[in-house]
A and B are shown apart, each in its own frame.
Chain A
Amino acid sequence: MAELPRAAFWPDRTVRLAARVLPAGANRDRYEREFLSELFGMSRGQQTRYAIGVLSRSWTLRVAVRHAATSPAPGLDTTSPAPRIPILCRLHIRHRWATAIAEDGGRYQRCLGCGKDRTEVDSNNFGGKVLGAGLAQIGGAGGMGSGGGFS
C-alpha cells in the first residue's frame, strides 16, 4: 500500500509541543502518539491547521485529562433535588452571574441562583467566582464590574 504523506517538520514539532503540556506519563505518550498518527495523510496546510488546533487546546486537554477521573459526566444531573429558584431570578430582576468552565474548557456565565446560562460572555467583565467544570460553588453576587446581575 502506498505510503501516506508524512508529517511535515513544523506540524510534527507543534503537536509534540502540545503533548508536552500534558502531565508526564502514559497520557502524554498516548496523546503524542495519537496526534502524530493523525497528521499522516493530510496536506501540509491541513497538518498546520490541525497542529495549531491541537496546540491551542493543549491546556484544556491537560485539564480534561487530569479531571477525567473525578468530574461528573457532562450533562448528567446530580441525584439531589432541584433547588428552589430565587424569586429575583424567576422575575428576571436579578441574576447572580458567575463564570463557569465547561467540559471543553470554554468559559460561560451561569446564574448561581437558577442555573440560567448567560448567552454572551464579556471576557473583560467576569463577575463573581470562577466555577470549576461541573461543580458549582456558592460565590459572590454577580455585581462585580459592569457585568452586574441583571437579567
Chain B
Amino acid sequence: MTIPTQLVLHALLADPEQEMYGIEIGQAAGLPSGTVHPMLARLEGSGWLESRWEDIDPRREGRPARRYYRLTPTGVQLAHEALARSAHGHRLFPALRPAGGPA
C-alpha cells in the first residue's frame, strides 16, 4: 500500500462516520490539491468507500452540490487491517527506510 493511500485512509478513519468531500480528504491527508480522486475511485470501486451527492438546493446555497465520501463498515475494518499490515511490514515514511539495492 502506498504512502498516499495510507494517508487517505488515516484521514478517513479519523472519524469514520463523518462524510468528507475530495478537497477535505486531501487537506486532511496532507496531499497536494486535486490528487486524491484516483485513490478515492479505487477505494470506492473496491467497496471500501461509498459516495453520494450532497442534497442541497444549488440556487439557495449559491454553489453546486459536492460529492461526499465515507468509509463503508467493511471499509473501516479492512482499512484498519491494511494499515496495521503496512505499519507492521514497513516504516510509514520512506525517508526513514533503509536504502535499497544499487541504482
Contacts and interface: CB of A to CB of B under 8 A. Distances in A.
B101 A72 contact: no
Contacts of B65: 37
Nearest to A54: B34
Interface in A103-134: 103-106, 108, 117-120, 122, 125
Contacts of B41: 61, 64-65, 68
A51 B34 contact: yes
B99 interface: yes
What bracket does the count of chain B residues touching chain A fall in? 35 or more
A57 B26 CA distance: 13
Contacts of B90: 117
Contacts of A149: 101
A74 B47 CA distance: 11
A118 B2 CA distance: 12
Interface string B55-66: 000001111111
B20 to A, nearest CB: 12
A63 B5 CA distance: 16
Contact of A68 (B5, B44, B81): B44
A74 B37 contact: no
Interface residues of A, number: 60
Nearest to B48: A73
Interface string A41-64: 110001001111111110011011
A38 B23 contact: yes
B33 A49 contact: yes
A64 B8 CA distance: 16
Contacts of B34: 35, 38, 49-57
A144 interface: no
Q: Which 6 A-B residue pairs are closest in the complex by CB-CB distance? A: A68-B45, A53-B34, A75-B82, A3-B62, A73-B46, A54-B34
A2 to B, nearest CB: 7
Given A75-B85, A120-B103, A151-B100, A36 B37 contact: no
Contacts of A97: 101
Contacts of A65: 41, 45
Given A76-B82, A119-B100, A57 B62 contact: no
Which of B2, B43, B61 counts the most A-chain CB atoms under 10 A from its CB? B2
Contacts of B48: 73
Given A3-B62, A74-B82, 18 more contacts: A4-B63, A33-B67, A34-B37, A34-B67, A37-B66, A46-B33, A49-B32, A53-B33, A57-B37, A61-B38, A64-B38, A64-B42, A68-B41, A68-B46, A75-B5, A103-B5, A104-B5, A119-B100
